[in-house]
Chain A
Amino acid sequence: MAILEVKGLTKRYPSFLLDGVTFSMEKGRIMGLIGRNGAGKTTTLKSIFNLVHPDGGEVRIFGLEMPEEEREIKQRIGYAGGAVDFYSRKKLSQIVEVTKQFYDNWDDDACRKYLDAFSLDANKTPKELSEGMRVKFSLTLALSHRAELLILDEPTSGLDPVSRSELLDAFLFLKKKGVSILFSTHITSDLEKCADDITYIAKGQVIASQSLSSFMAENAAAGNGDTLEEIMVHYEKESLYEKLADERV
C-alpha cells in the first residue's frame, strides 16, 4: 500500500519550476530523494508538507488528502529539515515538554529511550549540541509521537562520516520497526547504504522513481555508470555540456 502519493506537484518561482513531480512510496521502505543542489528536492518536501503552496498537483499521505487533512496527517508524520535549529537556548527537556502537548500518541518511555540511545542530555540546549546530535534530537521528537513516516531534508549533510554512518544505522533500525523514511540528499553513498527506492530529481523534474537496484541495473546496462555517483555525474554533466553548447551558439 502506498503510504505517500505525489501526483503532478508543480510550483512556479520566477527562476525555478518544479514541474509535475510524481512518485509514490510504499510502507516500511526507505526512499532517497536525490538530485544536485537546487534541483528541487527541498521544494518538493516542503510542498508535500504544505510549507510552501504548490500551484498544482496532489499529495496523499496514509490515503488522506493534504492539506485538507493536515492535522491528522501531522499526528502521524515527522518532518525535520536537518538539524534542530529552533529554540537554541532552551533545554531539550523544555522543548520536549512543550512538544508532547500537541501529540495524541506521545510516548514518554520511547522519548527517554531515544534520548538515551542517542546519548542526548536533556539538560543541554540545541546550541550546545553538535550538528549530528541535533539531527538525532529531531529524530527523537519525531519518533516519540510514533511517527509512521519520517520526511527528512538533507539530514546527513554537514555530518562527519561517523555521525552519518550512525544516522544511517538508525534509519535501518527504524525501517525494521515499520517506519517509512523519505530523505533528500546529494550524498550518493548514503543512499547506497540504506535506501530501498530512489527518486531522482533534476531541474525540477523527476527523471527516475523506482527501486534503487533496478535504477542501478538499468543505468549500468545503458553505460551511464556502475555507481550512483557515476550515474549522477553522467546526468548532470550532460546537461551542463548542453548549456555550454547553447551559450556558444
Chain B
Amino acid sequence: MKSLLMKEFKLAASPLAYIFLAGALMTLLPGYPILMSAFFICFGIFHSFQNAREVNDVLYTVLLPVKKSDFVKAKYAFTCAIQLCGFVLCAALTAMRMTALSTAAPYVSNALMNATPVYLAFVLLIFAAFNALFVGGFFKTAYKIGIPFLSFGIAALLLISLAETLPHLPGLTFLHNPAGERLGLQMMILAAAALVYAALTAIACKKAEKRFEVIDL
C-alpha cells in the first residue's frame, strides 16, 4: 500500500491536484458561496484521475504484483490525503475568520454563508459526495470520468444550495453566525459530518474494490 501511495504521488498525480488546494482560500471571500472551495479542491483531484487515465496508470498498476483492491484503496488514500490538506487549510482560515477577523466589516455584513464549523461540515459532505459519486463511479469502468463527475457536480450544487439556504430559515440563523453562537451545536454538526464522510468513503471504497475486481481491462 505504501508503495502504491508513493506511485500515486510520484507518477499518477496531476500538479493541478496541489494547485487547486489554493481553492481553500475562497474561505476568506465575503459575498461569495465559499463552499465552492470544496468543489475546486475536488476538481483538482478530478484532474489527477483524468491525468492518470491518459498516462495508462491503471494498466501499469495492474501489471504490478499488487492486489487490484489495493490499487482502489491507494486511489482513495490519495484522494483523502488531498482532501485532508484542503480541509486543514479551510479549517485554519475559518478559525482566522472566527477570531482575528470576526469583526471585519465585510464579514459582519456578509449575506452569504460565513466560515463557521457548519461550513466545514458541508466541506466534508461535499468531499464525501466526491468519494462516493466520482471516485466510486470511476471504478465502474476505470476509464469513464465524465458522468461520474457530472453526478458529483449536481450533488455539490445541491449541497451548496442547501448550505446557503438553511441559515435563512427561522431558528437556524446560528448556522451562519461567525461569532461563535451555539458553538457547541455547530461543533457537533461538524463531528456528525466527519462521521458521515468517514462512513461514506469507507463504503464507497469497498464497493469500488468489488466493481474494479470484475471489470475487464
- Using a CB–CB cutoff of 8 Å, the interface residues on chain A facing chain B are 46, 49, 51-53, 70-75, 79, 81, 85-90, 94-95, 97-99, 101-103
Contact = CB atoms under 8 A, between A and B. Distances in A.
Contacts of A90: 11, 55
B170 interface: no
B182 interface: no
Interface string B187-217: 0000000000000000000000000001011
B10 A94 contact: yes
26 contacts: A46-B216, A46-B217, A49-B63, A51-B59, A51-B217, A52-B217, A53-B216, A72-B65, A73-B65, A79-B63, A81-B59, A86-B55, A86-B57, A86-B59, A87-B55, A87-B56, A88-B55, A90-B55, A94-B11, A97-B10, A101-B6, A101-B7, A102-B3, A102-B65, A102-B66, A103-B65
Size category of the binding interface on chain B: 10 to 19
Contact of B67 (A52, A71, A99): A71
Nearest to B67: A71
A137 to B, nearest CB: 12
A46 B57 CA distance: 17
A53 B62 CA distance: 13
Q: Which 5 A-B pairs give the minimum distances between C-beta atoms?
A: A74-B65, A52-B216, A86-B56, A101-B3, A86-B60
Nearest to A50: B62
Contacts of A52: 216-217
Contact of A98 (B7, B63, B214): B7
Given A94-B11, A98-B10, 12 more contacts: A46-B217, A51-B59, A52-B216, A53-B216, A74-B64, A79-B63, A86-B55, A87-B11, A87-B57, A87-B60, A97-B10, A101-B7
Contact of A85 (B3, B56, B63, B65): B56
Q: Which of A51, A94, A97 has the most CB of B within 10 A?
A: A51
A99 B216 contact: no
A145 to B, nearest CB: 9
Q: Which of A71, A94, A98, A102 has the most CB of B within 10 A?
A: A98
Contacts of B214: 53
Interface string B61-75: 011111100000000
Contacts of B56: 85-87
A91 to B, nearest CB: 11
B29 to A, nearest CB: 34
Q: Which of B3, B55, B59, B216 has the most CB of A within 10 A?
A: B216
Contacts of A102: 3, 64-66
Interface in B158-187: none
Contacts of B217: 46, 51-52
A53 B55 CA distance: 23
Contacts of B11: 87, 90, 94-95, 98
B23 to A, nearest CB: 24
A97 B6 CA distance: 10
